[in-house]
Every structure is written in C-alpha cells, then in structure tokens.
Amino acid sequence: LPTHYTLPSGDRIPSVALGVWQAPKSEVGEAVKAALETGYKHIDGAWIYGNEAEVGQALKASNVSRKDIWLTSKLWNTFHVPEAVETVLDESLSRLGTDYLDLYLIHWPVATNKDGTLNNQLTENPYPTWQKLEELVEKGKIRNIGVSNFNIPRLKNLTANPLKIKPAVNQVELNFWLPQPELLKWSKENDILLEAYSPLGSTGRVGKSLSVPEVKEIATELGITPAQVIISWHVQRGVVVLPKSVHPSRVVENLQITKLPEAAFNKLEKAATSHTPERGLDPSKNWGVDIFG
C-alpha cells in the first residue's frame, strides 16, 4: 500500500495520519508522543480543535525534525475574510511551534461573520479567501492548500475562478457508512486527493463499524484487527486516512496497514457501497446553510 501520495506541488504526503479532532488537551500529548515513536509522520489538526498548543509541545519534546513531519491545520469559518486569514494562521503556527504548515485547509465551505451569522457572499464564492491562501503559499507560510467538506458542486464553483494554485486535497467524512464512491471517482479524475476523516465511523459508530460482518471476516482471514482492515481499505481506495485515538496501543495498531487481497477488498467495497449512506456529521444547518443537500 502507498506510504505517501505526491501532491501537485511535488510534496509527498504520508497516507496515514494521527487525527486529533476530539482529542482532549490533557490526552493529546501522549497520543502524539506514541504516534511519533511508532513512526507516524503526519498529524492532522485544526485551529478549532483547541489542542494545537498541546500538539506543538509534544512535537517539540519529541525532537523529531520539523522537515520529517507533515502538519495540517484548518482555517475556521469565522476567519474567511481575507484580512483575518494570516492572523489566525499565525496563531496556529505559533501554537504548533513552527513557521510553516505542510497543508492548510478551508475547514468548511461556510463563512460566518463575527456574530455567527452567515456571510453569504464568501460562502457562495470563497475565491477571496482562496486568493489569500495562495498569497500565503507564496510567502512561504503554507506549502499546500486545500479544502474540507466540499462536495462536487462546491469544488466546481471554487475552481471556476482563475486559481493560481488548485486545491490539492479535500478532507471529507469517509467511512463504511459514508463511502462516497462518486466523490472518490470524480476527485481522482480531477487530481484532488481525498482525506478520510472519521474513517472508523467516529464516536458512537466505531463499535458498529468494527462489527460489520465483512470486516470481521477479513480480519480473521488475515489475522489483523477490524480497525486495521478498515484503515487498510481506505488507503487501498487511494485516500489519506486520519484515524483518531488517544490510546497509545490503538495509535500503534492503526499505523499497521496491509494490502487486502483483491477479493477481500472488493467484498468490503461492495458491502460499504450497497447500503443507504449515513452521514455522521453535518453541523452546517446550524450555521444557516445546507451544504450537502
């Protein structure tokens, strides 16, 4: 299975990352430490997760060289106005203890004003935000830029602008319950790498994911754990996978991926794509817009 994918910039992004969404401040440091010790080279975080300082401290304590680690962060909804972008990026950089990010994503295709109301104009066309990100790439503070939670129409809408730099990745919910085969196909055709968040189904659905009969059968057949079957399936589909755990033993388990035999891969792909898709996460309606509808 690929250990890395090459982005249009030429940078190689590691295929498995430690995801730190919902990793409490008090536990995230241990998880990052375990991840770096076991060989993770990629941490996926965001400004809104509220734990960048703790991630930064763990990185510093590890003595892993900055160039050997891939760091992703994300621009929160309230900072899409071009004047706000660099300040909040600088905040992430300083908390992480670095002077550049490998990847910076627009976290949601939703721009909100300071009072929480929707900024319709920037939500409908995020080009001004994107131009600011392009400028920050030129300035050397970010190496690659992308988006998160964008569906095909929203990506088409963004890329219809005269972009200098195309979105390199789109980070979306991808798991057994929401495998998004159309988005995966379209993204490959358009050279946009998908990243899978909630790859195990996220809190509340993990147990259900790990007990899918096909997943259990393949785990037994290959002598690996159900979580390893699912994480391997993601990479075999050609996406970056971001399993989150704050338990060191699971952090270690989740990096050990194996190529599934073709029949096993096809069996799991078929099972995942033949039930009604169920999205785990869509806060957008609370923000006054239905982004997936």
By annotation, the residues acting in catalysis are 49
Is 247 a binder of ligand A2P (CB under 6 A)?
A: yes
Window of 77-85, 112-120, 214-222, 242-250 that interacts with ligand A2P by CB under 6 A: 242-250
In this chain, which of 105, 130, 201, 229 binds ligand A2P, going by CB under 6 A? 201
Q: Is 138 exposed, middle or buried (0-12, 13-18, 19+ CB in 10 A)?
A: exposed
Binding of ligand A2P at residue 206 (CB under 6 A)? yes
Footprint of ligand A2P on residues 209-238 (CB under 6 A)? Answer: 227
One residue of 203, 211, 220, 266 binding ligand A2P per CB under 6 A: 203
Q: Which of 2, 51, 3 is nearest to 29 (CA)?
A: 51
Laid out side by side, the sheet with 103-106 consists of 18-19, 42-44, 70-75, 103-106, 145-148, 169-173, 193-197, 240-241
Closest CA to 127 of 155, 149, 158: 158
Residue type, 93: L
Residue of 199, 215, 236, 264 that binds ligand A2P (CB under 6 A) = 199
Contact string 159-198 vs ligand A2P (x = CB under 6 A): ---------------------------------------x
Under the criterion CB under 6 A, does residue 29 sit at the interface with ligand A2P?
A: no
285 is a site residue for ligand A2P (CB under 6 A)? no
Q: Which residues bind ligand A2P (CB under 6 A)?
A: 19, 198-203, 206, 227, 243-247, 250, 253-254
